[in-house]
């Protein structure tokens, strides 16, 4: 079962291949969504400082009835934090809000503040400072693994050129209609596990007739096809839902997409 499968990070830590994304889940609803996911067999929960639901996520983990050691919790340093001291303080704040002991994976949410996303200023030096804070948190045992999110190849190269510890993951938008093959390849060559957020393309995949036709061919739902697509690309998949029925359905991805159909899906363009 996919819920029992892991990737192994470069430091030997196992990361479950399927996780629950919690973006846009209010803090007041996060605990219940996390409990539903864990009851359905999920062992990987993905949150972030910017989601403002770490408190609820931590509550859901603590009240799930599953031992903490069997769960994998990810959080992210806010994109707007671009210096060492603020990053270090934010990690401690996330630890306190979650209240679940060491965080399994802590990552830089974005190489630029969201208001400047993919803008001209690249924040190379600033990201090295944030990375140094993550390295220190890792070496202090506050977090079990460290990585980045939304980093392009040159953003990764910037960190790799003089880091003490290499990024272990890069979480980025990866779905049918947006498959950055060069970035995936770079991650693979450098021992960085890709993670796919928004594997259903923020819902756009639900409206695409080509994807619907392919899902029908395999006798699965569109979300199931989309999740399977990212898994077969070698990425952790992080679908988000608060509905128990959807949370359970998103785990039913044991089918395999043929190589020919993978190529067809990769060629699809979404509006």
- Token pair in block for residue 258: 């043929």
Asked about 51 being catalytic, the answer comes back as yes
Q: In DSSP terms, which residues pair with 46 in a beta bridge?
A: 21, 74
Helix ranges (DSSP H) in 112-152? 124-139
* Nearest-angstrom CA–CA distance, 55 and 202: 24
Task: Say which of 51, 123, 138, 229 is annotated catalytic.
Answer: 51
Q: Radius of gyration over alpha carbons of the chain, in Å?
A: 18
Residue 224 backbone phi and psi in degrees, to 5:
-65, -40
| Cα-Cα-Cα-Cα dihedral sign, residues 243, 173, 180, 167 | negative
Q: Which of 174, 119, 182, 176 is nearest to 156 (CA)?
A: 182
Q: Cα torsion for 239, 176, 151, 45, to the nearest 10°?
A: 10
Q: In DSSP terms, which residues pair with 196 in a beta bridge?
A: 172, 237
Element (H, E) at 194: strand 193-197
Q: Which residues are catalytic?
A: 51
């Amino acid at each position: 079962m996919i819920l029992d499968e892991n990737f192994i990070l470069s430091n030997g830590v196992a990361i479950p291949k399927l996780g629950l994304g919690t973006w846009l889940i209010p803090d007041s609803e996060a605990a219940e969504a996390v409990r539903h996911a864990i009851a359905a067999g999920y062992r990987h929960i993905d949150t972030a400082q910017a989601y403002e639901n770490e408190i609820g996520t931590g509550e859901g983990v603590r009240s799930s009835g599953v031992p903490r050691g069997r769960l994998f919790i990810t959080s992210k340093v806010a994109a707007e934090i671009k210096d060492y001291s603020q990053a270090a303080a934010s990690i401690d704040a996330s630890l306190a809000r979650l209240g679940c002991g060491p965080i399994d994976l802590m990552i830089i949410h974005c190489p630029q503040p969201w208001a400047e996303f993919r803008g001209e200023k690249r924040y190379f030096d600033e990201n090295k400072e944030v990375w140094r804070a993550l390295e220190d948190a890792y070496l202090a045992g506050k977090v079990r693994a460290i990585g980045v999110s939304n980093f392009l190849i040159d953003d990764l190269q910037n960190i790799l050129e003089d880091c003490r510890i290499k990024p272990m993951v890069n979480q980025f938008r990866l779905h049918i209609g947006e498959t950055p093959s060069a970035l995936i390849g770079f991650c693979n060559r450098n021992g960085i596990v890709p993670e796919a957020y928004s594997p259903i393309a923020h819902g756009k995949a639900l409206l695409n007739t080509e994807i619907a036709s392919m899902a029908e061919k395999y006798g699965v739902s569109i979300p199931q096809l989309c999740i399977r697509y990212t898994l077969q690309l070698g990425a952790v998949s992080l679908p988000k839902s608060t509905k128990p029925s959807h949370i359970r359905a998103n785990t039913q991805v044991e089918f395999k997409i043929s190589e020919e159909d993978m190529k067809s899906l990769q060629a699809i363009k979404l509006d």
